[in-house]
Each structure stands twice: as structure tokens, then as C-alpha cells.
Amino acid sequence: MNHLATVEEGRWRLSKHAHVVVHETDDGNELLTVYDCGAAQKPPSAQLIGNLVRVDATHDIVRQPTGYIAKLREHSVLERQDEDHWVVRSR
């Protein structure tokens, strides 16, 4: 499921108030769930398996028992580094 707008091959646009919810799994991977806006009560825009390596965009981190939420504070892009690794960068 990926309904994010494509910027170019391997890069997707994230809104200014997007939330990236990271759930850590038992096998060392992560389930990344992207919401366009944390306040909107809409289904997620994307779900991905892999590891969020870093967030280079302005954001806040909220820790949770099963992982964390990266609450973005600026327009950014989700960039695929390789098959299992992702980065969020400022746009």
C-alpha cells in the first residue's frame, strides 16, 4: 500500500505534518506506517517493511512501547536507500 506522491524514482513526497510510525519487529526489521497528518483521522498513506535509518528533516520523536513516532515539522521526502533502508530528508 503506497499512496504517496512520487517525486522521482525511489523518492516520495511527505506533507509538512506527516507522521512516520515505526514499530520494531522481533526479527530486527521495522514496519513503517506513514500518515499524511497525525491530526486527520484517515487511513495511512503507506506501509513499508524495512529500517528508518535517520530523519534529516525537522521533527519531534515520541517514544512508544513498540517503537516511536517521527512527527515531521517541514515538507520532506521519504527516500529509499536500498531494499531495506529508508531516510526522511528535507525537501
Structure-block grid coordinates of residue 6:
512520487
Give the tens place of pLDDT for each residue, 56-90.
999 999 999 999 999 999 999 999 999 889 999 99
Q: Residue 2 has what pLDDT?
A: 80
* Contact between residue 57 and residue 13 where contact means Cβ atoms under 8 Å apart: no
Q: Residue 28 has what pLDDT?
A: 81
Q: Residue 38 has what pLDDT?
A: 78
* Contact between residue 19 and residue 32 where contact means Cβ atoms under 8 Å apart: no
SS3 assignment, position 23 = strand
- Whole-model pTM: value is 0.92
Give the tens place of pLDDT for each residue, 33-47.
999 987 888 899 999
